Each structure stands twice: as C-alpha cells, then as structure tokens.
Amino acid sequence: MDRELHFSAVVGAALSSPFANLQLPTETSGRRKSAVVISKRINFNRVNIGMPNDQSLISEEGDFVLRALRQSAQPLNLTTLKAALPKSLPVNQKKLPEILEQLIKAEQVRVHRARPSSYWVPELEEQACARILEALDERPLTSKELQSKFRSLLVGWPVDKRKEFLERLIREKRIYKVAALTGSGKLLSVRPQLTPQDCVKLGFSSVAVSEEQACARILEALDECPLTLTALRGKFKSLLVGWPEVKRDEFVERLIREKRIHKVAALTGSGKLLSVRPQLTPQDCVKLALNLAVKKLNPKGFTADQVYEIAREVLPGGGNSVKPAQPTHNVEQLITDEMVRLKPAAATGALVSLSDLRRSLAKELEGKATFDQAILQLATTGRIALHRHDFPSSLSQEERDALVLDERGNYYIGIALRV
C-alpha cells in the first residue's frame, strides 16, 4: 500500500516536472518499465501541449524566436529568421519549423504559407498600415502609384497581404477614395476631400493655393464683363486649372449666396448674366453689345480685333481714347515717403500696413484700383516687398477690400522697403 502511494506521488511529480527524463525510484523491474513509458509520455505531452507556464527548453526557444521576430521591421522566412537568431542562443534550428507552428497555434505569430513562407508578429501589421497612411498623408496617390511605393514601404510583405491592408484601411474609413483633379479616376487619400494643399502637391502649380483665391479669379473675370454661366464655365479651363468641375460650380454658388456675384438681366432675351455688380453699368452694356457684335459678325469673316477697331473709328472720339495713367516716378516717391512718415522704422525695412497706407494716400491715389495698381507696379521695380495674407477667407469682404489684390488672386497685407 505504501509503495503504491509512493509510486503515485512520484508520477504526479513527474507530470509537473520541467525535466525531460525522470528516473522513477522503484524496486521492481516491472515498475522500472512503467517509469520509462511514463517518461516518454511526459516528453510527448511537453512538446505538443505547450502549456503557458511551461519552462521547458522548447518554450525558451520559442521566446528567442518571438524576440527575433519582434525586432524585425518586416516579415521573415526561415532563412532570414535563422540569420536573425544569434548563434550563441540555445536554439535548435532544426526544430525551428516545429517551434513556429507552436507559436502560430498560440496566435503569437502569423504566417503566409508560400514558397518560402513568411512569419511575423501581429503588431507588425499595424506598423505596415501606419506606413501606408503616412505615404498618403504626404499627398494623395492613385492605386497604381501606391502599389509601386509598396516595394519600399512594405518590404518583405506578400502581395496578398499588402492588398489586404489597403482594403482594411478603406473599410475602416482611414483611407478614402476621392475624385482626381482631372479625368474620372480616383485617388486614395487620408482625407475625405482634397485640400488646396493636396492640389498643389499633386503637381498642379497653376491651381489656386486657396479656395478664396479661386473665388477671386472668378470675380476678376466677371468684373471685366458680365457673363452667362455657360460662358463663365468656358473660362474655368484657364482660370481654375486643376479644380474639379464640382468644386468650380460650388465656388459660383457660394459667391452668389454671399452676394458677391449677382444675377442680372441680359441685354436681349430672358436669360440671366452673372455680374459682380447688382445692375449693369453703361460700360457693361457697351462691352456686352460689342461681344454680341463679334458673335454676329464672326460668321461673316470679321475677327474680334477688327470689330473693336471699327467701333473705335465710328464712335465719336473713339480714336482719341486715353490710356489709364501708369504709376510714375513721382507716385513711387510718394508711396515710399508716406511709408516712412507713417512708420519711421520703415526706412530700415519695417513692415507697413497696406490698409493704413491706403487711408493715408486716399486723396493722392483715389480708388481701390488706382492704389492697388500703383503698389503692384512698384513691386515690379524690386524696391519694395509685399507680404501676403495667409488666410484671406477668414476676413470680411470689407477687410479684404482694404488689402491689395493681384491678378493671381493673392491678397497682400503689408509692404516693406528693400534695404
């Protein structure tokens, strides 16, 4: 009885022992054979069960393999994994496939079975997704462009996994499909809509830097002469290069809503014209009449220049039209002197507010167009530098009118002498 109890205690200890070969203390040859059988079963169970608290040699090897995979920035195959394991570590490389399978079953390692198979730890997948998002945050890309970047972004990742990462990010709404600037294609972006900065980064150097500048170009075209919506859209090809058609129409709707564009009656018919003024001026009517004459006479072989030349000849005093005066040396001196008077430090390059300068020279340079033209003309000489407002859309229309606006839609807030 005591011997049976002693034997059971030894077997229980053996089943929880970390040692590979347990010699059971027994006196009979029959029990010695049983000890051998139990010892083999213990070895078998240790290798295949892989208990979490098992401190066996196999578990230690698994820890070393996991450590090597975690230290790698890309998936590894058997060859590269063996090279990543220091030779000084007690890892039996012949058992490496067996160790990896245990780690896969324990969901500590993931695998892409191919020739050769690739292995990685789960957290490496999120790192790969972060690299994709980082590339698209820099600028939107087509699917083809992104795939070509995968060669450097996702080194070692199987093609199927790269595709899976992209689909997952789209599904999680961390990547969006947005309309391209031209054509009907789609771009991949981390933002649901293209920003003006995205447009510039995409290589459209002629696209407006901001939406407000795009609106300024529309207003400039309509200030020259009222247009139908169709005629204005025709000008968009050169005015708003790169902007999607939907955005162009949004700009017009916004300007109408803000009452910066008005719908006025056309000279003929029941149609409407778009104008920056609530009513047609006499100058507007003459320009529209001339445009109508050009349109009617074009089939008869008359060019626009010919029509305008004939109009100048037949209109009273038409041949003696005077060109608007350009800023002269006296105007240049007037501006620079007034800058120094307003702010003495301007003589050494200090910035002067253009709004203050406009008010100070209201009598000498009467009207917004005259003042703006004089300042812009002076800037071309290189004597002064203009400082652009970074966010003009944050200003009211009255505040924007106090700034200087150039032909590209840039608003300038300050002026400084170059010293």
Give the whole-angstrom CA distance, residue 120 versus residue 36: 39
Are β-strands 272-275 and 262-265 bridged in parallel, bridged antiparallel, or unpaired? antiparallel
Q: 3-class SS at 178?
A: strand
Give the whole-angstrom CA distance, residue 189 versus residue 139: 7
pTM of the model: 0.39
Please give the chain's pLDDT, 419 residues, in tens: 444 444 444 444 444 444 334 444 444 444 444 444 443 333 333 334 344 444 344 477 888 888 889 998 899 998 888 888 877 766 677 888 888 999 999 999 999 998 889 999 999 999 999 999 999 998 899 898 898 888 888 988 999 999 999 999 999 999 999 988 766 788 999 999 888 777 767 754 333 346 777 788 888 888 888 999 998 988 887 777 767 888 889 999 999 998 889 999 988 888 899 998 888 888 888 888 888 888 888 888 877 777 777 777 776 655 444 344 444 458 888 999 899 888 888 888 888 889 889 988 988 888 888 899 899 988 888 888 888 876 676 677 778 888 898 877 788 888 988 86
C-alpha triplet 280, 282, 288: angle, nearest 5°: 70
- Whether the Cβ atoms of residue 59 and residue 79 lie closer than 8 Å to each other: no
- Whether the ω angle into residue 244 lies within 30 degrees of 0, i.e. cis, is no
Give the whole-angstrom CA distance, residue 320 versus residue 328: 22
Could you say which DSSP state residue 112 is in? E
